[in-house]
Each structure stands twice: as structure tokens, then as C-alpha cells.
Amino acid sequence: MQCFQEYGKPSLEFQEVELQDNGLYSATCSNGHKTLTILQEQKFEILFDFGALALLDGYPREAVTSMAAALERFYEFYISVICIKNNIDITNLKKTWKHVASQSERQFGAYLFTFLIDHKGSEPPIIDNRKPSFTDISKKNTKNWKEFRNAVVHKGYIPTYLETLEYGNIVYCHINELITDLKERSSDSMQKVTFHHIARANEVADKRVVSTMSIPTLVSLTRGEKAPETFEEALESIKKYRKWLHHK
């Protein structure tokens, strides 16, 4: 924007950056203008893409761990939206979250009860206890998805491509189902959580111009069109995008 103000057109320079945990990116153009850019996407959106890319690149175990982490971070986002919807102060929300920040089971429990409160007693959707539908394995001898995830994350289990694909599909559909629910029931609160997410950049700007950027992701809060119905379809879309991005 400083280039635009001074020279009548924005800089068309591009800089490659490594994705950062905090979503903040510093850059300086050839004219010396310093910019701080914050990625609008929530962490769960980025993590799920990591999982999809890992699967496409032949790393199913890394795909499962990334998608499992994406689901946990989505539950955190869901909890934040419902708390904001119920007029919980963002500062108190952050302070309280610190008490469960290292305990995924407590976070999952918080998701269950925030959903219960928001839906006036309706049972929340849960995927942990479902079992894979592999045709050549008896369901009696098959781990449920929680046991599968824990075996991969904590016991070094190396999943097959098909196991990972099905796990990805159930997580993908679960997150999208809840995103749709949030958009229908809590869109204003979603925008407020996103605003607080973006406002972090202003806190560390130090006289730099602050800008926002959005990138396409498979599970997306900002998607305008309808999301692909299955994880398999979503993978095809990311293949096409990657081919376009790298001109291959």
C-alpha cells in the first residue's frame, strides 16, 4: 500500500516465505517499505492442508498426525466462537484456555459441552467411536478412529494409504459439517473470532504497515462456493491447484 500511495501502483514483487506458527510474516520491498502480513486462515485450516499434502507426497503417518492436530485446533476455534456468542470476554477466554491448553481430552470435553449449550441439549456429533468400513476386515477386529489415531500418534503405527484416506474423509466431513452449523447459527461470532485473530498483527506491528492475506484451503471458513463433498474430491482440487501453482 505504501508503494501505491507513493507511486500510484502497488508493488508486484513476490517473496517466498516459510509458514509460521503465529501466522505473521514480515517483508520489505525493493523500495524499503516494511510490511507485516497476517494470514487470515486459522491454524486448523493450514494443518489440514499439511495432512492432505503429506498424503499426496506419500507420507500417510504424517498425514494422520496433521489432520488429527487440525481437528483439535478446530475444536478450539469452535469453543471460542460459542464463548464469544455467549458474551464471554476474549481476555478471560484466553486466560481460561491456558488451563486446558496442554490437555486434549479436556479440550474435547469443552467442545462437547459448548455444542450442548448452543444446541439446547442436542447431542454433539462425535467421530472418535466410529469404526472404519474396510470391506476385508471384520468391524469386531478393527480399531475405532480414536484408537487408530492414538496408535499412529503415540505408538508409531504406520497406516496404509486407504486407512489414511478414510480417516481424512471422516475428519474432513466432520469439520465441514460443524463449519456449516457455525455459519448458520453463529456467523457474527465467527467474524469476531477472526477479527481478534487478525488484530494480533497490530499488537506487534512496530510502525510497519499491517495487511492481511488469505489462501485457499481444503477446510475453509471463507469459501464462497460449496465445498467438495468428500476428502477424495478435495484432494483432486489440491492436485490441480498445486499443478497450476508450480506450472507443472
Grade residue 90 by pLDDT with cuts at 50, 70 and 90: very high
pLDDT of residue 136: 55
Convert the pLDDT of each residue in 3-55 to its tens digit. 888 899 888 888 888 988 989 999 898 999 988 899 999 999 999 999 999 99
Give the tens place of pLDDT for each residue, 129-182: 998 876 555 455 568 999 999 999 999 999 999 999 999 999 999 999 999 999
Name every residue whose Cβ is closer than 8 Å to that of residue 168 and which is 6 or more positions away in sequence: 51, 52, 55, 63, 67, 231
Residue 115, Ramachandran bin (φ over 0: left; ψ between -120 and 50: alpha; else beta): alpha
> Which residues lie across from 39 on neighbouring strands?
213
Q: Which three cell numbers stand for residue 81?
A: 466462537
Res. 63: pLDDT tops 70: yes
223 vs 122 pLDDT, higher one: 122
Site of grid cell 470391506: 135
**What pLDDT is recorded for position 211?**
86
Task: Examine the pLDDT at 106 and tell me if it is beyond 90.
Answer: yes
Dihedral angle, C-alpha 152, 157, 163, 164, nearest 10 °: 50
C-alpha cell of residue 9: 501502483
pLDDT at 76 over 80: yes
Asked if residue 168 lies in contact with residue 56, where contact means CB atoms within 8 angstroms, the answer is no
Q: What does the pLDDT read at residue 98? A: 96
Read off the DSSP letter of residue 226: P
pLDDT at 246: 64
Overall average pLDDT of the 80-98 stretch:
97
Dump pLDDT digits (tens) for 196-247.
999 988 888 888 888 899 988 999 999 877 889 999 999 998 888 777 666 5
- For the question of whether the overall pTM of this predicted structure is more than 0.85, the answer is yes
**What's the CA gap between 16 and 7, in Å, rounded?**
24
Closest to 182 in 3D by CA, of 89, 77, 87, 86: 77
Pairing, β 24-28 against β 34-39: antiparallel
Q: Cα torsion for 229, 232, 236, 239, to the nearest 10°?
A: 130
User: Which of 240, 119, 131 is CA-nearest to residue 182?
Assistant: 119
- Assign 123 to helix, strand or coil: coil
Percent of the chain whose pLDDT exceeds 70: 94
